[in-house]
Amino acid sequence: MNVLVLNSGSSSLKFQVIATDLDRIKQHRDARLCRGEVERIGGEAIVTFQKGNEVRQKFTAPLRDISATLDYLVRYMVSDRSGMTEIQSPADVHAVGHRVVHGGELFTESATITDKVLQGIEDCIDLAPLHNPNNIKCILAARELFGKAIPQVAVFDTAFHHSIPEQAYLYALPYHLYRRHRIRRYGFHGTSHRYVAYRYRTLRELTREQTHIVTLHLGNGCSAAAIRAGYSVDTSMGMTPLEGLAMGTRSGDIDPAIVNLIATKEGLSTPEVETLLNTQSGLLGISGLTNDMRVLQAELKEHDDRRVRLAIEVFCYRARKYIGAFLACMGGADAIVFTGGIGENSPEIRARICDALQWAGLTVDNEKNQQMVGMEGKISTEGSSLLAYVIPTDEELLIARDTVRCILGEPHPS
Ligand code: ADP
């Protein structure tokens, strides 16, 4: 089954086509036929397209909206230009899997998209006004392009965290605010945390019940999850992805009284302060330079800039603080798992985060840590009682697999 996986943003669309079915899932033989991204939709869009593992192609096309983008992409795939033999016509796309940001309390697992499910995603717009409308537009565009006969599945960023208990998801606010407006912590990056937890237990040949880990997704957005007996029991992101770790451009945890203070002192409206916390804070805000960890690390090496150093220190300190908190909350864990662009590729950041965790039984093996860049494996020493792993995430693969399992009515446990 060829599954088109779509992840739509406000002016961008990430896509992959993955060939998979129940047998391939079992044998871990899913095949990635192509992947890419369209940026700056609404004007002269930039398209990146990679067939299999071949060289990436980059070109521009005037694309006014998501509907035009999807139409363009599928026409490109079936044309000779893409070089794809598996997709000769739109009918060779057998199913579509969508990353949907917010499933609220309605969706505790992936769901085949019906009118009722679409209504449910719409009902969650209040919780994710910036994200869910894009996902809905993308679902409707795919429905128009492929027709209702091609099944579509929604895979929710929040779903994996549905198992978080009340004591962890409730804010200490007047309870009626939760009852009236569903103000609580939901958590995000669920597909990523779920995927690396599944890979971890596969690598170590453990059952789900034996999986006790803290996962750290460190990309542009960053979050930690406490996973006990294979289920998420706490996570650092909250009602929105703004809470928790210091991120590329997001502040993570702050004293909520600061919002009013910034608004008053800087003459900003509350939505403007929220935008500042989402887009001008984190690594970018502290360093005053960039949200790109690679650039910050290079800058630190070359110039030892004080604010660049501070940005990296705050980033690592906050991550370590959450690890400590989650270890306490879940009564200890067997391993810390790093994923995301920074977690997968930066031995220095991993070492800094783990540096002061010797009290918890974790010592990083320097050589293994240096080697483990963009690949899967253990980075803690043999003597460590708390292990550390690097596991590259693959949200698209999990979305494709869930799509197949939903359509075939199979349970989707991993
Ligand atoms: P997103 O959350 O947008 O999916 P990614 O998971 O791709 O982002 O992570 C992006 C971050 O990963 C950026 O800060 C980037 O600098 C960082 N990154 C990627 N490669 C490296 C590397 N080799 N060393 C340090 N940081 C890296």
164 Cβ closer than 6 Å to some ligand 1 atom: no
**At 29, is the secondary structure helix, strand, or coil?**
coil
Q: Quickly count: other Cβ atoms within 10 Å of residue 53's Cβ.
A: 7
State how far Cα 101 lies from the chain centre. 9
The residue written with tokens 């600061």 in the block is: 258
Q: Whose CA is nearest to atom 24 of ligand 1?
A: 346
Question: What's the pLDDT score for residue 411?
Answer: 74
Q: Which of 131, 292, 293 to mutate to test the pocket of ligand 1 (most atoms within 8 A of CB)?
A: 293
Confidence bin at 131 (pLDDT 50/70/90): confident
| Residue whose C-alpha is closest to residue 201's, from 223, 219, 224, 227 | 227
Is ligand 1 within 6 A of the CB of residue 281?
no
Check if the beta carbon of residue 47 is closer than 8 Å to that of residue 59: yes
Handedness of CA 56, 58, 62, 66 (dihedral sign): positive
Contact 295, 289 (CB under 8 A): yes
* DSSP letter for each residue of 158-181: SGGGGG--HHHH--SS-HHHHHHH
Across the range 173-199, mean pLDDT stands at: 97
Instruction: Tell me what percent of the residues of the chain surpass a pLDDT of 70.
Output: 99
Residue 410 has pLDDT above 80, yes or no: yes
Whether residue 156 contacts residue 107, with contact meaning beta carbons closer than 8 Å, is answered with yes
Task: Say which residues have a Cβ less than 8 Å from residue 202's Cβ, sequence separation at least 6.
Answer: none
Is ligand 1 within 6 A of the CB of residue 340? yes
CB 180 within 8 Å of CB 105? no
How close is the Cα of 53 to the center of ligand 1, in Å?
20
Question: Is 157 annotated in the active site?
Answer: yes
CA distance 2 to 18: 6
Q: What is the DSSP string of 218-278?
A: ESSSEEEEEEETTEEEEES--SSTTSSS--SS---S--THHHHHHHHHHT--HHHHHHHHH
Q: Do strands 95-100 and 2-8 pair parallel, antiparallel, or not at all (unpaired)?
A: parallel
User: Which atom from ligand 1 is nearest to the alpha carbon of 221?
Assistant: 2
Q: Atom 7 (ligand 1): residue with closest C-alpha?
A: 341
Distance of alpha carbon 239 from alpha carbon 378, whole angstroms: 33
DSSP annotation of 41? B
- 357 in helix, strand or coil? coil
Best CA proximity match to 409, nearest among 5, 22, 20: 22
The type of residue at 312 is I
**92 token code pair:** 């060779």
pLDDT digits (tens, 9 = 90+) for 89-123: 999 999 999 999 999 999 999 999 999 999 999 99
Q: d(Cα 4, Cα 78) in Å, to the nearest integer?
A: 13
Say whether pLDDT at 369 is over 70. yes
* Annotated active-site residue in 23, 80, 115, 157: 157
Question: Phi, psi at residue 382, to the nearest 5°?
Answer: -60, -35
Query: Does residue 401 have a pLDDT over 90?
Result: yes
**Gap from CA of 340 to ligand 1 centroid (Å):** 7
Q: What is the C-alpha to C-alpha distance for residues 165 and 132, in angstroms, rounded to an integer?
A: 25
Which H or E run contains 98?
strand 95-100
What's the CA gap between 373 and 406, in Å, rounded? 33
Dist. CA 347 → ligand 1 center (Å): 12
Distance CA 88, CA 82 (A): 10
What pLDDT is stored for residue 36 in this prediction? 97
> pLDDT confidence of 130, banded at 50, 70, 90?
confident
**pLDDT over 90 at 406, yes or no:** yes
Whether 292 is in the pocket of ligand 1, judged by its Cβ within 6 Å, is yes
Q: Is the pLDDT of residue 72 over 80?
A: yes
**Cβ proximity of 152 and 140 under 8 Å:** no
CA of 341 to the centre of ligand 1 (A): 3
pTM of the model: 0.96
34, β-bridge pairs: 17, 51
Determine if ligand 1 sits within 6 Å of the CB of residue 220: yes
Q: Which helix (H) or strand (E) holds 60?
A: strand 57-62
Q: Is the dihedral of CA 53, 388, 200, 338 positive or negative?
A: negative
Q: Which residues pair with 41 in a beta bridge?
A: 43
Q: Report the 10 Å Cβ neighbour count for 395.
A: 24
